[in-house]
Amino acid sequence: ASGVPGGSDVGSQKDRVVSEEEWLRKWETGNVGFHKERGHPLLQKYLDVLLNGRTGLRIFFPLCGKAVEMKWLADMGHSVVGVEVSEQALREFFAEHGLQYREEPVPEISGAKNASGNISLYCCSIYSLSSSIVGKFDGVWDRGALVAVNPRDRQRYASLMVTLMEKNSSYLLVTVSYDPNKHKGPPFYVPESEIKSLFGNHFEIKCLQKVDDFSDKHRQWGLDYFLEVLYVLKFL
């Protein structure tokens, strides 16, 4: 049960594998067009859905890169935890925001490092994390994570995310929609049917908005449309 629907639904993407080395190379070469320097407008618009009137939350950023929203939420008084395989991305995050940090080894994860403070970032594979290491979270901002996970690993990813969530948490999930026969990914196309098969046993799933995000970059990929789709997931 790979969590991947039939080939016609996801094109040729179901067997696509992006190695850790490829992701590291993207950061090394500055090929990070997915990074949004001004933050993501959908998080700004739907922040109230994530916070739900609550203060002092623990908020998780899976595959965080150097997302500027981590600083933004920390400045509001929330505790932010991110995980990212690229040490360069994490160093750039702290440098670009002028933040001091200290590095600590993570005893439970060989080779992992954690840069701690009210923004605590783990440099390791997300699959090395567990609630016994990082605790549980009141909120998740998943933009660029599920769509970056290799399609064959989606069930593994979703199962992990379920274990990291508090029962009253809000999980904001951004996916992308385009013709998967025209682009091999990443970001990978994740249809709504698959969101339901991955998370539907645990969460109420609601689509909040679809945004036309088509640009020249997507035209160069051979696409004729590209949508961002925002969902909120709440425990049943």
Is 24 marked as binding a ligand?
Answer: yes
The answer on whether 168 is annotated among ligand-binding residues is: no
125 assigned ligand-binding residue: yes
* Residue 118 annotated in ligand binding: no
Query: For residues 51 and 57, is the Cβ–Cβ distance under 8 A?
Result: yes
Query: According to the annotation, is 20 in a ligand binding site?
Result: no
Q: Is 23 annotated as a binding residue?
A: yes
Is 60 annotated in a binding site? The answer is: no
| Residue 30 among known ligand-binding residues | yes
Whole-angstrom distance, CA of residue 86 vs CA of residue 167: 30
Consult the annotation and say whether 77 binds a ligand: no
Exposed / middle / buried, residue 82 (Cβ in 10 Å: 0-12, 13-18, 19+): buried
Residue type, 107: P
Q: Is 39 annotated as a binding residue?
A: no
- Torsion, Cα of 75, 77, 83, 85 (10° steps): 20
63 is in an annotated binding site: yes
Q: Is 16 annotated as a binding residue?
A: no
Q: What is the DSSP string of 174-222?
A: EEEES-TTS---SSPB--HHHHHHHHTTTEEEEEEEEEE---HHHHHTT
Please give the single-letter amino acid code of residue 152: R
List the structure tokens of 8.
């016609």
The verdict on whether residue 25 carries a ligand-binding annotation is yes
226 is an annotated ligand-binding site residue: no
102 is in an annotated binding site: no
Known binding site: residues? 23-34, 63, 84, 125-126, 143
Q: Specify binding-site residues for S-adenosyl-L-methionine.
A: 23-34, 63, 84, 125-126, 143
